[in-house]
Structure 1
Amino acid sequence: MRFNIHHRTHYRYAGEASESFMEARLRPAETPFQNVHTHRLEIEPVCKVNEYVDYFGNTVHNFSIIRRHGELLIDSFAELETASKTTPAAGSKVTVSEARQIFRSEKLRLYEFLHPSPAIALDAETHAAAKRLFSSRAKIGRAALDLNEWIHDEFKYVSGSTGIDTPIATVMTTRQGVCQDFAQVMIAILRSAEIPARYVVGYIETDSQREAAKSGRKPKKLIGAAESHAWVEVGLPGGEWLPLDPTNNCVAGERHVKMASGRDYLDCTPTKGVFKGTTTQALTVSVKMERQP
């Protein structure tokens, strides 16, 4: 599928900011199933933009505005093409017990994705869920899919019910949240089961009208936030990753666009930074994702 994506981030300050320093992870990732044809950033006030690749392989743009400004506008434009993901063969051949042994032998390479991270804590409840859901004799791919389904069935999607800083323990108790929460709960359980997992930020096409018109039937409706979406990549033996979307109980496919990945949300926030000279700010984000012929 071909998509045009326009992601707009708009900061408005209560007074005027004298300086702003920002990082943006807005360029969609290049993967075997995703080809980015073009990408550009437009920033107002106009400034010099630097680019680098971070520790996790994400493209980062950073910039500073060293003059007074009442608002900051960041527009990201991308043209890209996605393809259906194939399920790695290792998922159907290797048991959970065998996979754990392989992951232990690769613990230096996978360390960040096997242990707690700043936004993902492991506790007695995540370990209990891991023990209950991951039989040592089960095939690792099947077990991961079952966990994906369990989160989808057990937790209720309630927009606005949580915030960026809501702990996993709270979500486990209330059994409600949004895509970010479900992804981080899934990662916590996977890591408690000694299976590597990483957090993915991106976009999802939720409007199925065009597909329905073409096929004459209504395709599966996918749920996601209007601004961005989150899902999980599960580590498999052989260095492959299985992308799973617990919000929609599916393998992340051609209607998912990957932007960045890391240990948790804090590693791949679309934009973050600091400013000086005013007390408060208001942030609005909008995403327009259009499928092309």
Structure 2
Amino acid sequence: MRFSVSHKTFYKYAQPASESVAELRLCPMSGPCQIVQSRKLLVEPEVPVGSFEDYWGNSVEYFAIPFRHTTLKIASSSMVETSPQESVEYCEDVTVAEARQIIARSSLKAIDYRRPTRLVPVGKVLRCLNRRFISSNAYIIETALSLNEWIYKNFEYVPGATDVSTPLEKVLEMRKGVCQDFAHVMLSILRTGGIPARYVSGYIEHVDPTQPNSELVGAAASHAWVEINLPGDRWWGLDPTNNQVVGERHIKVAAGRDYHDVAPFRGTFRGVTQQNLDVAVEIKRK
């Protein structure tokens, strides 16, 4: 499938900011299931924009505005072609214990995705859930699909119920949240069981124009899901918000240990002032 992606961010300051700096993770990834055919980034006020690849392999763009300004506009536009993930049939008979052993021998990078973080902790409740879902003798693919389905069926998608500072324990208690929360829940359970997994940010096509009853749930601005590291250094995407294997309607932007590693905008400004933020994202199939 081919999509145009438009992501516009507009900050308005009540009083002029004397300067500001920012990092952006808005450029879609090119990889086995996705090709970025074109990309544009516009920043107003107009300033030089640099770029680099971070530790996790994400494209990061950055800029500084060293003068007074009352607004900041960022417009990212891309043309992206997606394709289905490759089959994971080769892993259907691989147990969790076997997968752990194979990955531990072959992928040093996967160690980073087994460790807890502030947003993806390990605790008593998570250890109980881990024992419920992850058995060393169970098949890795079957285990992941069961966990994906359990989160979908037992958590309610409620925008505004949480924010990025809401502890995971609170999300587990409320059983409600958004895609970011559900991805963190799944990551915590998987990592508690020694299964390397990472957080993915991106976009989804909410409605398939060719199919009835095809709506996918997700945030208007961006979406989040999980990728599990499988033997053979394969990353397999699952979307617990929609109980789906990630497919052509998912557009991948960045991956990391948790939301903090892949936040679309990270920045600060100098000045004592209030700010208003507007974000508009549009995904169109071509």
- TM > 0.5: yes
Is 1:118 aligned to 2:133, yes or no? Answer: no
Alignment of 1:252-263 (within 5 A): 252-263=246-257
Residue in structure 2 matched with residue 57 of structure 1 by the alignment: 57
Query: Structure 1 length normalisation: TM-score?
Result: 0.95
In structure 2, C-alpha distance between the alignment counterparts of 1:135 and 1:111, rounded to whole Å: 20
Specify the code of the residue in structure 1 equivalent to 2:148. Answer: N
Alignment of 1:152-231 (within 5 A): 152-208=152-208, 210-212=209-211, 218-231=212-225
Report the counterpart of residue 36 of structure 2 in structure 1.
36
Letter in 1 for 2:161: S
**Deviation readout 1:79-108 (Å, 9 max, x if unpaired):** 111011123234312101111222333573
AA in 2 matched with 1:67:
F
Name the stretch that deviates more: 168-177 or 277-286.
277-286
User: In structure 2, how many angstroms separate the alpha carbons of the residues matched to 1:283 and 1:120?
Assistant: 27
User: Whole-Å Cα distance in 1 between the matches of residues 125 and 104 of structure 2?
Assistant: 23
- Contiguous gaps of at least 5 residues in structure 2: none
Q: Letter of the aligned partner of 2:88 in structure 1?
A: P
* Counterpart Cα distance in 1 of 2:114 and 2:22: 29
TM-score (norm 2): 0.97
Tell me the distance in 2 between the aligned counterparts of 1:124 and 1:46: 50
1:270 aligns with 2:270: no
1:222 maps to a residue whose letter is L
Report if the CA contact (8 A) 1:13-1:278 is conserved.
no
Q: Is the 8 A contact 2:199 2:224 kept in 1?
A: yes
Q: Secondary structure at the match of 1:160?
A: coil
Instruction: Decide whether the 8 Å contact of 1:202 with 1:229 is kept in 2.
Output: yes
CA distance in 2, matches of 1:91, 1:211: 32
SS at match of 2:71: strand
> What amino acid sits opposite 2:168 in the alignment?
I
Q: Name whichever of 132-141 and 180-189 sits farther off.
A: 132-141
C-alpha distance in 2 between matches for 1:164 and 1:83: 31
Match among 235, 244, 249 for residue 243 of structure 2 = 249
Letter in 1 for 2:232: G
Secondary structure, in 3 states, of the residue corresponding to 1:247?
A: coil
Moved more, 5-14 or 20-29: 5-14
Query: Per the alignment, in what secondary structure is the counterpart of residue 73 of structure 2?
Result: strand
Match of 2:227 in 1: 233
Partner of 1:215: none
Other-structure match for 2:143: 143
Matched AA of 1:211: T
CA contact (8 A) 1:14 1:278 kept: no
Q: Shift of the alpha carbon at 1:24?
A: 0.3
2:83 equivalent in structure 1: 83
Which amino acid is 1:230 matched to?
A
Give the match's secondary structure for 1:211: coil
In the TM superposition, residue 219 of structure 1 has moved relative to its aligned partner by 4.2
Separation (CA, whole Å) in 1 of partners of 2:100 and 2:2: 38
Alignment gaps of 5+ in structure 1: 213-217
The 3-state SS of whatever aligns with 1:136 is: coil
Asked whether the 8 Å contact 2:148–2:240 carries over to 1, the reply is: yes
Q: 2:225, 2:239 within 8 Å by CA — same for their partners in 1?
A: yes
1:69, CA displacement in angstroms? 0.5
Paired residue type of 2:61 = H
Q: In structure 1, which of residues 282, 287, 291 is the aligned counterpart of residue 285 of structure 2?
A: 291
CA drift at 1:73: 0.5
Q: Deviations over 1:25-82 (max 9, x none)?
A: 1100001110100001000000000011110110000000011000100000101110
**Contact 2:103 2:233 (C-alpha < 8 Å) held by counterparts:** no
Q: For the residues of structure 2 that align with 1:264 and 1:235, how far apart are their CA atoms?
A: 15
- Residue type matched to 1:32 in 2? P
